[in-house]
Amino acid sequence: VYSKRIQEIIKTAAKDLDIDIKEGVYAQFTGPNYETPAEIRMARTWGADAVGMSTACEAMAARHMGVEIGGISCITNMAAGMSKEELNHKEVQETADRVAKQFKTLITGIITRIGE
């Protein structure tokens, strides 16, 4: 699904902008609820590094329509059972708000490099 060319552009933009990114396997669950500890154990068994409620289906649909795809996800919280804290939307929103400017900078950097 993901374009090697777009992946390289993402990595280059992040490096040039001094933005630390990680690569890994993303598993998508349907939501809209947080994953259970059992689902997290299952995803880990499958080899997932992160889980969420979007990205994969959208990427597959866009690729099916001929769009060149690169995937980026902002990991906003620890999964169920990975910390003693109870999951809550406030934590997710606070993390998203905290990294929004940097995320926008990265996306802008990627877009400007795509046409080069």
Task: Just list the catalytic residues.
Answer: 35
Q: What do you get for the CA distance between the two ends of the chain, in Å?
A: 22
Beta-ladder partners of 28: 52
**Rounded distance, CA 27 to CA 53, Å?**
9
Question: Are 49 and 79 contacting, i.e. CB atoms less than 8 angstroms apart?
Answer: no
**Other residues' Cβ atoms within 10 Å of the Cβ of residue 108:** 12
Token pair belonging to 14:
């992040």
